[in-house]
Amino acid sequence: MTADVVIVGGGPNGLMLAMELALGGVRPVVLERLPERSRTPKANGIVGQVVRLLHQRGLCERPRPIPAFLFGALPLDLAGLQDNTMYGLGITQARLEERFEARALELGVEIRRRREVTAFTQDDDGVSVTLAGGGRLRARYLVGCDGAHSMVRKHVGIGFPGVTSAAVTSRAAHVVLPGATLRPDRAEAEVPGAGTLGLWAWHRTERGAYALLPMGAEVLTVSCMEWDGPEPGGEMSIGELRESLARVLGADVPMAPPPGPGPHLLRRLSGRDTRVADRYREGRVLLAGDAAHVHSAVGAPGLNLGLQDAANLGWKLAATVRGTAPPGLLDTYERERRPAAERVTTHSKAQLALMAPGPEVTALREVFGELLRDESARGRISALMSGADVVCSGGGHPLAGRFVPDLDLEPTPLATLTRSGRPLLLDLAGGLPPDDRVEVVRVKCAEPPADALLLRPDGYLAWAGTPDDTLEEAVRTWFGS
């Protein structure tokens, strides 16, 4: 069988890419080695600009900027911040994958489970894929969305430079704290033997950091992070987490297993890898998501980064497969997304450094906390964490290259126009002629930021301004002659 695109990995990034390719007129095949969606507890939410893209695809309700967040376990007040680009969506990764899979199937995506890729070769015309058990598949392109230990990345010979910090050990589990009183409305819990502990956020002590996240009436996710602690050994247990939290807090907190069959979180991570692939493409093989970059989970940047990789690559690869892409379009994927990964690895390392123990770090936190009282500093940190500080190709107008503003359009809402995944030319002043390369839509806006906006399928503006020769140049550059 010959496919247009084979996606290796059926997690959120692989499914997002599959949806974007399908919207672009390409029918991909997703190969996933697991027999069913993973039930292992992972992420509990998404933060960043990609939440707005999910809304534009009809995958969530319209979000609003969140009023507060954290940076390195320091409070980040975003209430009233002008141009706040931090959006949030509370959803477990399991539920997100379920939603993505249902939408992908609606779009005609073929998802094959129990299909493990063991090898592949490529030539000028495509990629030949070998599956465990001897099956074979031919595709024009192959994309590795197969995680941090990507077989695709290793097999094609793409380097994965970076650093490994062996000093940090983190532990997390679903537990019940006997005798504790949870007060979610006050973001605190009264815990026997430990007093009042904060909820919903990381808290740093001179010996490490901890976080308590309520998961229901009595079950919490308790996470604990230590630097240079005792060498872990054997299987992770709730008792090990309790001992770690006691060292960080200086107080013993009794813990019990949660009720019910689960699955329940019980995880230990030793060390931290921070790496970015030295290239995102080798011929007809490309990487996206964790296959292209790994970093600390502090600040929850992973899904925002990976899903935007998929959205950026999807429409460009679809145009390339269809033969409508202008020269060099596929090369802009790495050029735009690799800097985004480098920014995430920078701020995730910075946040870990701010959470480390020691009097020097305490002094650094005091200085950094003072800086965060300044609105311009909060705005820069917000843009850094949401991904808004990474500008895609484009120029001339201040909006060009940035994610489209959250505009209230009439008579058709922006999220309705963008659901098809087509490139859009939003005509806010009237008079633009039809164009078979993009969908020209006449809309009104109370305070239009420009006379016209050229919107790429991934939500970024390729051009903005008053229609002139630069508009035709932008359409030709991104969508062909």
CA distances to 82, 324, 383, 384 from 85, in Å: 9, 33, 6, 9
Q: What is the crossing angle of helices 331-355 and 359-371, to 10°?
A: 120
Interatomic CA distance for residues 108 and 311, integer angstroms: 18
Q: Tell me: the pLDDT tens digits for 261-287?
A: 878 889 998 888 899 999 999 999 999
Sequence-ordered list of residues with C-beta below 8 angstroms from that of 9, at least 6 positions apart, any chain:
30, 31, 32, 144, 145, 146, 147, 289, 291
Coil, helix or strand at residue 17: helix
Interatomic CA distance for residues 301 and 64, integer angstroms: 18
| Closest by CA position to 208, among listed 247, 251, 174, 255 | 247
CB 244 within 8 A of CB 191: no
Radius of gyration of the chain (CA): 23
DSSP state of 289: G
Strands 219-227 and 162-176: antiparallel
Using CA of residue 332, residue 333, residue 338, residue 343, what is the dihedral sign? positive
Amino acid at 451: D
| Closest by CA position to 18, among listed 87, 109, 114, 102 | 109
DSSP bridge partners of 455: 424, 461
Buried b (16+ CB within 10 A) or exposed e, 218-244: ebbbbbbbbbebeeeeeeeebebbbbb
CB 87 within 8 A of CB 48: yes
CB 459 within 8 A of CB 403: yes
Interatomic CA distance for residues 295 and 275, integer angstroms: 7
Q: Which residues of the chain have pLDDT under 70?
A: 1, 394-395
> Rounded to an integer, what is the distance from CA 128 to the centroid of its chain?
30
Buried b (16+ CB within 10 A) or exposed e, 320-354: bbeeebbeebbebbbebbbebbebbbebbbbbbeb
Interatomic CA distance for residues 474 and 91, integer angstroms: 37
Token pair 């870990």: residue: 352
pLDDT score, position 38: 77
pLDDT score, position 419: 96
- Report phi then psi at 303, rounded to 5: -70, -35
DSSP state of 291: G
Q: How many CB atoms lie within 10 A of CB 160?
A: 19
Token pair 């909820």: residue: 199
| Closest by CA position to 120, among listed 154, 149, 161, 160 | 154
**Cα dihedral value 193, 195, 200, 201, nearest 10:** -100
pLDDT score, position 395: 66
Strands 117-122 and 127-131: antiparallel
Interatomic CA distance for residues 407 and 318, integer angstroms: 27
Coil, helix or strand at residue 254: coil
